[in-house]
């Protein structure tokens, strides 16, 4: 096999010649004291940028605060999370052991919370929105000295993201079971408002999970050459699909977060009796003795 043939299915990683520079003195990429780019060492918010660089971190801060407050409030409730065949995604998988005195959401929420908190996109979003570190590219940072990246405690814990990914895939499988249940009304196939809300929520969560940077790396990002390893063809195909999804990871992150909150809100309103859940039975159209809505 020629070198060119061997690299037919290359991901591109490691194919370019690296510049011959001295290795960094620390593990954070750039030697301490060297130039770290425009914005470093400047006063907080100081920049030569003339665009509305502050708008995105501001929107992210407002969005994360509002959705985070709702999720916290919903988790503390510990009731009105179920209605007929619907279960709020904040409470799934549902565990209600008799010895647990708090909301059952707290038995499970650590997984999605840890997954999102360590997500590469959310890290960027909340570092910018809440820590101003940096607030945006080429903008003065809130804390421009003593930068150590994510190499020290507590931020070194961000490296456990991959393990939260594994756990989240298990939770996702349970959420799909909830979706199937949400379309079954006393053993009869129906489509309710909650069925659609839970389907949209779990579908978006699936796209968010499948577009994960860690998953992309696991499938093929760490490979220099697909055609050099066993199963390289299928892995390359999967990697290509995940790569397309990965380009929109930020969008999936926001839409899935919104959809989870909305699904909980919908189930809660139904459980509180504040709205009536409309259910459509598509197969009843062929049954003259049954009304399509019930
Ligand atoms: Fe965002 Fe993995 S990088 S979920």
What angle do helix axes 249-271 and 193-210 make, rounded to 10 degrees? 150
Atom 2 in ligand 1: residue holding the nearest Cα: 212
Question: pTM for the whole thing?
Answer: 0.84
CA of 22 to the centre of ligand 1 (A): 32
pLDDT at residue 2, as a whole number: 42
Q: In degrees to the nearest 10, what's the CA dihedral of 200, 112, 106, 132?
A: -110
pLDDT at residue 9, as a whole number: 53
Tell which atom from ligand 1 comes closest to the C-alpha of 120. 3
Tell which atom from ligand 1 comes closest to the C-alpha of 208. 4
pLDDT at residue 5, as a whole number: 43
Residue that has been written with the tokens 């998988």 in this structure = 93
CA of 148 to the centre of ligand 1 (A): 22
pLDDT at residue 29, as a whole number: 60
Are the C-beta atoms of 272 and 80 separated by less than 8 Å? yes
Which of 111, 114, 159, 161 to probe ligand 1 with, by most ligand atoms within 8 A of CB? 161
Q: Mean pLDDT per 10-residue run, the chain (294 residues)?
A: 47 50 54 64 84 94 98 98 97 97 97 97 94 86 71 89 98 98 95 98 98 94 86 92 96 98 98 96 72 52
pLDDT at residue 292, as a whole number: 53
Contacts of 162 (CB under 8 A, 6+ apart): 214, 218
- Rg of the chain (C-alpha set): 24
Q: Can you give the three-state secondary structure of the chain, one letter per residue?
A: CCHHHHCCCCCCCCCCCCCCCCCCCCCCCCCCCCCCCCCCCCCCCCECCCCCCCHHHHHHHHHHHHHHHHHHHHHHHCCCCEECCEECHHHCCCCCCCCCCCCHHHHCCHHHHHHHHCCHHHHHHHHHHHHCCCCCCCECCCCCCCCCCCCCCCHHHHHHHHHHHHHHHHHHHHHHHHHHHHCEECCEECEEHHHHHHHHHHHHHHHHHHCCHHHHHHHHHCCCCHHHCCCHHHHHHHHHHHHHHHCCHHHHHHHHHHHHHHHHHHHHHHHCCCCCCCEECHHHHHCCCCCCEC
pLDDT at residue 146, as a whole number: 63
Whether 121 is in the pocket of ligand 1, judged by its Cβ within 6 Å, is yes
């Amino acid at each position: 096999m020629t070198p060119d043939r061997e690299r037919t299915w290359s991901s591109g990683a490691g194919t370019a010649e690296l510049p011959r520079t001295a290795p960094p003195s620390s593990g954070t990429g750039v030697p301490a004291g060297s130039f770290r780019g425009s914005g470093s060492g400047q006063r907080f918010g100081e920049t030569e940028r003339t665009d509305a660089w502050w708008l995105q971190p501001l929107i992210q801060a407002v969005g994360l605060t509002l959705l985070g407050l709702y999720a916290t409030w919903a988790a503390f409730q510990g009731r009105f999370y179920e209605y007929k065949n619907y279960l709020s995604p904040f409470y799934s998988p549902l565990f209600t052991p008799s010895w647990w005195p708090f909301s059952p959401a707290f038995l499970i929420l650590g997984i999605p919370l840890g997954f999102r908190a360590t997500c590469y996109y959310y890290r960027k979003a909340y570092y910018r929105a809440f820590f101003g570190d940096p607030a945006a590219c080429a903008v003065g940072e809130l804390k421009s000295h003593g930068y150590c990246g994510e190499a020290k405690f507590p931020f070194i814990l961000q490296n456990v993201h991959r393990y939260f990914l594994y756990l989240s895939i298990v939770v996702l499988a349970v959420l799909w079971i909830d979706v199937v249940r949400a379309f079954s009304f006393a053993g009869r196939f129906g489509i309710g408002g909650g069925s659609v809300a839970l389907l949209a929520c779990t579908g978006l969560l699936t796209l968010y999970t499948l577009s994960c940077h860690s998953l992309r790396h696991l499938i093929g990002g760490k490979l220099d050459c697909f055609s050099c390893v066993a199963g390289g063809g299928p892995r390359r195909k999967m990697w290509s699909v995940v790569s397309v999804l990965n380009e929109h990871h930020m969008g999936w992150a926001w839409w899935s977060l919104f959809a989870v909150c909305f699904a909980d809100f919908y189930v809660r309103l139904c459980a509180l009796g504040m709205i009536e859940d409309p259910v459509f039975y598509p197969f009843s159209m062929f049954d003259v003795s049954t009304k399509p809505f019930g």
